[in-house]
Structure 1
Amino acid sequence: MGDLELRRAYGEGDLAALPVFAGGFINFGYWAGIPLDGELTVEQRVASQRALYDLVVDALGVGPGDRVLEVGSGRGVGARRVLLRGPALVRGVDLMPEQVARAARANDDPRVAFVRGSCDDLPFPDGSFDALLSVEAAQHFEDVAAFTRESARVLGPGGRLAVTTFFTRTGDAGARLAGVLETFATGLDQAHRVDDVVRDLRAAGLADVRADGIGEHVWRGLDRWLAQGPRPDGWDRNWLPAFERGLLDYYLVTARKPAGSGV
């Protein structure tokens, strides 16, 4: 059911075109510094999504000369934002061929390219990248452990990883989330426990693994945006209540491949 829902959302459909999102991004946004006591503008919505990417790129320390991979690159808007840091190249990989095509059509920078591939079978040689990011995509991954192993494989020694999305806090949260959020009920989103993600990254050989909850700067801004619209009919407003009930949170997860490890 999950694969079918992914195709509906990102293949046959184009989630980024929905009013709840803006600017070609598909993320809930990082709303720190954006006032939430008045009417929100589309420009502020786009700014929140850019800010989420900037948070991740800052955590990675992307700079000139870096080779960067984005897993779950969508329309490629975020990958092109990474270019502002001056990397040598950026590659985006996405499971949906329609998304790869959309990203390729919008791209005019020779440093960026997009390819079709799976998070658990990345189409790149060992040690190809200095930094790897994934922004609000890992909640769709069927096998997070395989993703962590593949990430460790394609990173060179000293390479950095940063993943941001929503993960569950407890092992029994999945069934409870399915009762309050449609995306969990349909299988579009998977209930991955954050402690398991941390464990899998360490098991893959990565070091300095940490998961920082950033939900205070995500859920309230998202809920304020959804409250005023525009949003698709029936778009869930249960994200903030799910967070307040301790079922999930939004995390920035970072790790590093030890410098002495093999390619």
Structure 2
Amino acid sequence: MAMKNQERSEFVFSVLDLQPHERVLEIGFGPGTDIARASRTAAFIAGVDHSDVMVKQASRRNTEAIREGRVKIDLGSANKLPYPDQEFDKVFSINSAQFWKDSVGTLKEVSRVMKPGAQIALAIQPRQKGATEDHAYQAGRGLADAMKKAGFSDIHSEARPMKPVSTVCVLGRRM
């Protein structure tokens, strides 16, 4: 699965433009491949995932960076993040936000841990059987609407054609 997600991840990283001084959060990190990648650029990356299995897998994949204090892996939920206020410069989530039961409430919680002016990127590529381009763009519009309701600014979407359907990345800033 990690290799199948590489193209989607490369797209998100290209629009997020991580910098060496930044503190970054990934929500729903899966096997931890994007945490490993981000840790090669950003000063620090934290990740939260609700799955014990993914926490173990990501911890094994990022053992050295964890030992060096450049990565922190946490078991938890996006709607109750285990981090202090205004901790992160950038936050991203790839194919996870569509599973949040209360998108607006969760995004308000995400905003809490973001520094003023921090950037968020939520990417989605519908993977269900019969997914269409319309599903991708509709999901992106839904995320953009939730971001607006949660108080984010400078909200816009970028899309990249992929198989089986495009990936839409919705970006915004914490006010």
When the two structures are superposed, what TM-score results if normalisation uses the length of structure 1?
Answer: 0.57
Q: Deviations over 1:71-109 (max 9, x none)?
A: 001111111111232x11100100012211221122211
For 1:129, the aligned partner's letter is F
Match runs of 1:1-263 below 5 Å: 21=1, 25=2, 46=3, 49-85=5-41, 87-107=42-62, 108-109=64-65, 110=68, 111-166=70-125, 180=130, 193-214=139-160, 216-219=161-164, 250-258=167-175
Contact 1:139/1:166 (<8 A) preserved: no
SS where residue 197 of structure 1 aligns?
helix
Offset at residue 154 of structure 1 (A)? 0.8
CA distance, structure 2, for counterparts of residue 196 and residue 138 of structure 1: 10
C-alpha root-mean-square deviation of aligned residues, in Å? 2.1
Deviation >4 Å, runs of 4+:
none
How far did 1:207 drift? Answer: 0.8
Q: Give the structure with the higher percent strand.
A: 2
Higher helix share: 1
Secondary structure of 1:64's partner?
A: coil
**Matched residue, 1:243:** none
Please say which structure displays the higher CA radius of gyration.
Answer: 1
Aligned residues: 164
TM superposition shift of 1:197? 1.7
Whether the 8 Å contact between 1:64 and 1:88 is mirrored in structure 2 is yes
Structure 2 gaps, min length 5: 132-137
d(CA) in 2 for partners of 1:166 and 1:146?
22
Given that 1:126 and 1:153 are in contact with CA atoms closer than 8 Å, whether structure 2 keeps it comes out as: yes
8 Å CA contact retained: 1:201, 1:209? yes
One-letter identity of the residue aligned with 2:38: V
Q: Percent identity?
A: 27
TM-score, scaled to structure 2? 0.83
